[in-house]
């Protein structure tokens, strides 16, 4: 099934560009006891955490959106997710987690992400990239960003497994850890959205066993390994306890002050999930959700809080990470998790009972039961109960339902029931902890459903006038639901992207759909509101279903007579280095004549180092005196630029004014946007540095340039590229044909010829279709990095390396021709006329290799084919002549 990742459009715009420009600029805008130093022979100091209580009795109560629901809605809408697994590597783990349960827990989370990536039932597959990283005194990635695929899953598991050996470092520096993770997410998001734009969802899964702790560098070895200073306190050397206390306070301040790292993580719309081992800490809770009982960290009223889930012990750690991964994957808890001492037989207090119906696609159970005689008992609605003893594997099916039992440890397992759609397994199930031990075990059950509340296409919102939102219950791929319900409710939230205000709505049953009437206040300036729906239902068989729909931007239409903005969100490409973000503003005329002008750009959140932002727009005036008539659909190209390099997410809006004929007041209309920034390589600074170094000596700067080129020589992410390899022949009169097992055909290049390069290799080399591509750095420091391609039977003499040819690292939109000398020679011998010498072979045989973008495959295929038709015959002749020399 092909995923449609475009959001519904309320109106249609057609390209029409007028020659008018405008440039605007604006500024960017109870704890655990003090832990000993993490190094075995070191010492540490935990900063005093002053109470920073805010106004607890603030008037009004905003609707809170569950962070997991927010992330699931984002993933459902965009189809892209970036996850950093951020795991503590301090030496205290040798005591708090001697059995490396954190590693098993992280593997459990990866397993849940892999299920989400594959897609289940009617759920579409998701593009997921994972970065495994440790942290202590600094952010320390274990490997590189890895697209999660069937081929790369083992690689990710190996990276996670390597964390077991990382438990001997110093410090627990949340500032450096989260800042490093945030920057890594920003850089990756910029790569994945380059050219195509769009939203990418981001999350950090943070595990730690302590609070913000630094240690004294009291030996030369520690000073060399961990450094003497921190970036947030560069003038204080960490040589004694007084310095440690002062720097720790500075680190917490840099983390929690207004605009600090905690706010930057939330501003980048990263869902932070923190799992501390033990009792947790006020600081950890506050930096995750904004506030804790005794302090705040960053903006306590943030609209993007994280999730704080302390685990009392290592056994509970497994359950918590399983819960996190399953919730990110769209699972809904059935009842409350159970933590209880096992009973001698099935009992209510050590069990969970749930109902299964065919509307569920999967049921996921986590169970841990301590003790040598501990066992998990499953009682299906029909058939014999099944007991799974500790250390044993489980059956392939229970009660006629296919099951997958994964043994995490001798005492913990997960069971996944793949629910059939023929009614098998419907009814009441029980999972219980049984044994004679007196140590508590735990169970939780999550359900996954294909049914969601889907917003209808006729839903409309109007400024200052009643509008209607309607929804139906359908499968995730749009098929009408045939399930019978005893109870069903649909609720939702309308989020203003300009102010962050969230308005709850409840949809009422109206025949076969759910409807609510909503009036958008005249004071609202947003061009659209983001709508998220939640469905809660009980099926006729008693199964409880809970699901969150993908988020949708719904346009807020201006009153009759005013031009409209469509789409109501400005889609911008990413900014790398000194580049610019590009996009289009589109307008649709009213029945009567109207006009519009661009007023300003406002940045709501951005990396602090980004400086000011400017917007350039061609085709629309600024100010009421330059109000541009909108008499036909109009598309205005815009460019957004930042004054300084930075890494992170940028959100904000462009203010437009829409005016109607007849003297009505112009209406302020704010079009929201978001984009990703990556610092990239500063070419200007690199050249300045090189010029300065050349004054002292020629060799050193040249070597430095080669090294910098080497570090930055990479292919674009392979998951964003599709490739095709087509056998072709060029005739004497420049005719071109493609060849397959059935013979020759008129030359063509279609989207079906291409396949994804995801999982074919890394960012420096990959192998596909019998070809090996390698990113190469030229010895000439001012030369362009390029790719070399090695192929069996390639063209001799085309390059110095023999059977090789060169290609730019930006693969999408490019093509190359690989000459087949043997086939060309055979054709010459077969087709040549005796006695007539010819300088050109009658036919030239070879392979056309082409690349297109995953996000714009159809359009780029057409452009590449047009270029091939124009240039391939001449290219083939030139290569043929070179090969004969």
| Shared-domain flag, residues 703 and 786 | no
- Report the candidate in 808, 819, 814, 825 with the shortest Cα–Cα distance to residue 853: 814
Query: pLDDT band for position 1 (50/70/90)?
Result: very low
User: What pLDDT is recorded for position 793?
Assistant: 46
**Tell me, what CATH number does 637's domain have?**
2.60.40.10
| Shared-domain flag, residues 687 and 672 | no
Q: Tell me whether residue 414 is in a domain.
A: no
| Shared-domain flag, residues 454 and 514 | yes
- Examine the fold and report which residue of 557, 586, 615 is the final residue of a domain before the chain moves on: 557
Which of the residue ranges 15-19, 105-109, 225-229, 807-811 has the most confident prediction, judged by mean pLDDT?
A: 225-229
User: What pLDDT is recorded for position 311?
Assistant: 84
| Shared-domain flag, residues 735 and 590 | no
Collapsing DSSP to helix, strand or coil, 184 comes out as: helix
Mean pLDDT (the chain, rounded): 82
| Shared-domain flag, residues 91 and 182 | yes
| Shared-domain flag, residues 697 and 609 | no
**Tell me, what CATH number does 277's domain have?**
3.40.50.410
Q: Tell me whether residue 403 is in a domain.
A: no
- Report the candidate in 238, 240, 239 with the shortest Cα–Cα distance to residue 251: 238
| Shared-domain flag, residues 551 and 575 | no
Alpha-carbon span 510 to 471, nearest angstrom: 10
Alpha-carbon span 443 to 399, nearest angstrom: 20
- What are the phi and psi torsion angles at 810 (to 5°)? -80, 90
From the centroid of its chain, how far is CA 741? 41
Task: Tell me the three-class secondary structure of 270-339, residue by residue.
Answer: EEEEEEEECCCCHHHHHHHHCEECCEECCCCCCCCCCEECCECCHHHHHHHHHHHHHHHCCCEECCCCEE
Q: Tell me whether residue 624 is in a domain.
A: yes
Alpha-carbon span 440 to 809, nearest angstrom: 56
Indicate the range of 29-33, 202-206, 790-794, 806-810 predicted with least confidence: 29-33
| Shared-domain flag, residues 734 and 639 | no
Calculate mean pLDDT across residues 296-300. 91
| Shared-domain flag, residues 162 and 302 | yes
Q: How many CB atoms lie within 10 A of CB 323?
A: 25
Collapsing DSSP to helix, strand or coil, 111 comes out as: helix
The answer, yes or no, to whether residue 18 has pLDDT greater than 60, is: no
CA distances from 1 to 4, 84, 358 (A): 9, 28, 22
Indicate the range of 121-130, 496-505, 533-542 predicted with least confidence: 121-130
- Examine the fold and report which residue of 287, 312, 337 is the final residue of a domain before the chain moves on: 312
| Shared-domain flag, residues 606 and 643 | yes
The answer, yes or no, to whether residue 34 has pLDDT greater than 60, is: no
CA distances from 184 to 83, 202, 679, 804 (A): 10, 11, 11, 34
User: What pLDDT is recorded for position 48?
Assistant: 39
CA distances from 464 to 9, 263, 560, 635, 666 (A): 21, 34, 11, 26, 14
Q: Tell me whether residue 120 is in a domain.
A: yes
Tokens of residue 349, six digits: 């207090």
CA distances from 364 to 325, 404, 407, 415, 419 (A): 11, 10, 14, 6, 11
Q: What is the largest CA-CA distance in the chain?
A: 102
Regarding beta strands 667-678 and 575-576, do their DSSP bridges make them parallel or antiparallel, or are they unpaired? parallel
Higher pLDDT, 10 or 596: 596
Name the DSSP letter for residue 387: E
- Examine the fold and report which residue of 312, 332, 363 is the final residue of a domain before the chain moves on: 312
User: What pLDDT is recorded for position 709?
Assistant: 67
Collapsing DSSP to helix, strand or coil, 191 comes out as: helix
Alpha-carbon span 274 to 791, nearest angstrom: 48
Q: Tell me whether residue 187 is in a domain.
A: yes
pLDDT single digits (tens) 784-817: 777 888 765 444 333 333 344 567 777 888 888 8
The answer, yes or no, to whether residue 36 has pLDDT greater than 50, is: no
Burial annotation 525-544 (CB, 10 A radius, 16+ → b, else e): bbbbbbbbbbbebbbebebb
Query: pLDDT band for position 546 (50/70/90)?
Result: confident
Tokens of residue 2, six digits: 């092909």
User: What pLDDT is recorded for position 702?
Assistant: 62
Q: Tell me whether residue 413 is in a domain.
A: no
The answer, yes or no, to whether residue 123 has pLDDT greater than 70, is: no
Calculate mean pLDDT across residues 451-458. 88
User: What pLDDT is recorded for position 682?
Assistant: 54
| Shared-domain flag, residues 760 and 869 | yes
CA distances from 862 to 851, 857, 874 (A): 12, 9, 20
User: What pLDDT is recorded for position 820?
Assistant: 87
Q: What percent of the chain has pLDDT over 70?
A: 84
The reported pTM is 0.63
Indicate the range of 98-102, 682-686, 738-742, 873-877 predicted with least confidence: 682-686
User: What pLDDT is recorded for position 768?
Assistant: 86
Contact 443, 342 (CB under 8 A): no
Alpha-carbon torsion, ordered 619, 621, 622, 628, to 10 deg: -130
User: What pLDDT is recorded for position 53?
Assistant: 38
The answer, yes or no, to whether residue 644 has pLDDT greater than 60, is: yes
Alpha-carbon span 26 to 133, nearest angstrom: 36
Q: Tell me whether residue 4 is in a domain.
A: no
For the chain, the distance separating the N- and C-terminal CA atoms, rounded to the nearest angstrom, is 50
pLDDT single digits (tens) 141-178: 998 999 998 899 999 999 999 999 998 899 999 999 99
Q: What percent of the chain has pLDDT over 90?
A: 40
Higher pLDDT, 474 or 195: 474
The answer, yes or no, to whether residue 43 has pLDDT greater than 70, is: no
Regarding beta strands 307-308 and 270-276, do their DSSP bridges make them parallel or antiparallel, or are they unpaired? parallel
Show Cβ contacts of residue 761 under 8 Å, excluding neighbours closer than 6 positions.
718, 767, 768, 773
Show Cβ contacts of residue 749 under 8 Å, excluding neighbours closer than 6 positions.
724, 726, 848, 850, 861, 864, 865, 868
| Shared-domain flag, residues 226 and 120 | yes
Query: pLDDT band for position 281 (50/70/90)?
Result: confident
Contact 775, 785 (CB under 8 A): yes
For residue 636, give its domain range.
Answer: 21-25+559-678
Q: Report the number of distinct structural domains present in the chain.
A: 5
pLDDT single digits (tens) 317-353: 888 888 888 888 788 888 899 999 999 999 999 999 9
CA distances from 243 to 45, 235, 863 (A): 10, 10, 62
Indicate the range of 386-395, 609-618, 639-648, 853-862 predicted with least confidence: 853-862
The answer, yes or no, to whether residue 23 has pLDDT greater than 50, is: no
Q: Tell me whether residue 36 is in a domain.
A: no
Contact 556, 461 (CB under 8 A): yes
User: What pLDDT is recorded for position 64?
Assistant: 63
Tokens of residue 401, six digits: 């339902």
């Amino acid at each position: 099934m092909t995923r449609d990742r475009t959001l519904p459009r309320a109106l249609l715009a057609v390209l029409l560009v007028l020659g008018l420009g405008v440039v605007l600029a604006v500024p960017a805008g109870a704890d655990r006891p003090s832990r000993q130093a993490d190094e075995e022979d070191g010492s540490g100091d935990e900063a005093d955490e002053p109470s920073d209580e805010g106004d607890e009795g603030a008037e009004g109560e905003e609707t809170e959106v569950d962070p997991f629901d927010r992330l699931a809605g984002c993933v459902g809408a965009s189809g892209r997710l970036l996850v950093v697994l951020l795991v503590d590597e301090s030496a205290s783990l040798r005591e708090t987690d001697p059995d490396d349960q954190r590693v098993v827990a992280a593997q459990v989370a990866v397993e849940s992400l892999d299920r989400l990536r594959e897609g289940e039932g009617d759920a579409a597959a998701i593009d997921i990239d994972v970065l495994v990283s440790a942290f202590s005194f600094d952010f320390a990635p274990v490997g590189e960003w890895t697209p999660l695929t069937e081929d790369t899953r083992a690689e990710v598991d190996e990276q996670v497994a390597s964390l077991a050996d990382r438990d001997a470092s110093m410090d627990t520096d949340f500032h450096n850890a989260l800042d490093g993770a945030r920057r890594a997410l920003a850089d990756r998001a910029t790569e994945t959205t380059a050219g195509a734009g769009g939203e990418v969802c981001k999350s950090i899964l943070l595990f730690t066993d302590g609070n913000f702790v630094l240690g004294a560098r009291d030996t030369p070895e520690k000073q060399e390994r961990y450094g003497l200073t921190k970036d947030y306190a560069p003038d204080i050397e960490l040589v004694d306890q007084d310095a440690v206390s002062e720097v720790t306070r500075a680190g917490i301040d840099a983390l929690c002050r207004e605009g600090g790292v905690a706010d930057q993580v939330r501003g980048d719309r990263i869902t932070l999930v923190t799992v501390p081992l033990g009792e947790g800490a006020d600081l950890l809770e506050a930096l995750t959700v904004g506030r804790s009982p005794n302090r705040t960290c960053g903006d306590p009223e943030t609209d993007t809080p994280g999730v704080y889930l302390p685990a009392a012990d290592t056994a509970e750690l497994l359950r918590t990470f399983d819960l996190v991964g399953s919730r990110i994957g769209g699972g809904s808890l059935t009842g409350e998790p159970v933590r209880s001492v096992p009973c001698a037989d099935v009992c209510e207090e050590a069990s969970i009972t749930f109902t299964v119906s065919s509307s569920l696609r999967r049921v996921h159970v986590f169970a841990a039961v301590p003790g040598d005689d501990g066992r998990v008992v499953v009682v299906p609605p029909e058939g014999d109960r099944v007991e799974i003893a500790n250390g044993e594997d489980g059956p392939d099916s229970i009660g006629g339902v296919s099951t997958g039992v994964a043994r995490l440890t001798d005492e913990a397992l997960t069971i996944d029931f793949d629910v059939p759609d023929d009614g098998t397994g419907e009814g009441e199930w029980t999972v219980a902890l049984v044994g004679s031990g007196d140590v508590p075990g735990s169970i939780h059950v999550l359900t996954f459903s294909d049914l969601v509340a889907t917003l209808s296409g006729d839903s409309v919102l109007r400024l200052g006038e009643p509008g209607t939102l309607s929804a139906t219950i359908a499968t995730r791929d749009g098929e009408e639901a045939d399930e019978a319900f005893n109870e069903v409710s649909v609720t939702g939230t309308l989020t203003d992207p300009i102010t962050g205000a969230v308005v709850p709505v409840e949809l009422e049953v109206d025949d076969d759909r759910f409807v609510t009437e909503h009036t958008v206040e005249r004071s609202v300036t947003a061009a659209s509101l983001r709508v998220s729906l939640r469905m809660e239902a009980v099926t006729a068989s008693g199964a409880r279903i809970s699901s969150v729909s993908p988020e949708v931007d719904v346009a807020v239409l201006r009153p009759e007579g005013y031009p409209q903005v469509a789409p109501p969100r400005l889609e911008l490409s990413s900014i790398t280095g000194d580049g610019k973000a590009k996009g289009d503003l589109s307008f649709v005329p009213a029945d009567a004549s109207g006009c519009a002008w661009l007023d300003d750009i406002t940045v709501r959140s951005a990396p602090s180092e980004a400086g000011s932002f400017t917007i350039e727009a061609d085709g629309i005036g600024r100010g009421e005196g330059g109000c541009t008539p909108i008499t036909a659909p109009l598309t205005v190209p815009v460019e957004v630029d930042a004054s300084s390099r930075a890494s992170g997410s940028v959100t904000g809006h462009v203010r437009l004014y829409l005016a109607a004929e007849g003297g009505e007041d112009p209406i302020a209309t704010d079009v929201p946007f978001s984009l990703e920034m990556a610092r990239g390589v500063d070419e200007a600074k690199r050249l300045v540095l090189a010029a300065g170094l050349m004054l002292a000596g020629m060799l050193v700067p040249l070597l430095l340039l080669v090294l910098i080129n080497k570090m930055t020589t990479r292919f674009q992410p392979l998951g964003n590229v599709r490739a095709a390899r087509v056998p072709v022949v060029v005739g004497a009169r420049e005719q071109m044909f493609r060849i397959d097992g059935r013979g020759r055909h008129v030359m063509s290049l279609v989207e079906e010829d291409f396949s994804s390069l995801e999982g074919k290799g890394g960012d420096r080399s990959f192998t596909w279709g019998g070809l090996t591509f390698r990113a190469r750095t030229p010895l000439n420091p001012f030369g362009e990095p390029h790719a070399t391609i090695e192929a069996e039977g390639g063209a001799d003499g085309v390059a110095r390396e023999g059977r090789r040819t060169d290609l730019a690292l930006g693969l999408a939109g490019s093509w190359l021709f690989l000459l087949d000398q043997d086939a060309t020679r055979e054709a010459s011998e077969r087709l040549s006329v005796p006695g007539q010498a010819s300088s050109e072979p009658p036919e030239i045989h070879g392979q056309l290799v082409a690349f297109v973008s995953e996000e714009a495959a159809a359009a780029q295929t057409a452009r590449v084919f047009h270029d091939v038709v124009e240039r391939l015959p001449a290219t083939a002749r030139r290569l043929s002549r070179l090969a004969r020399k």
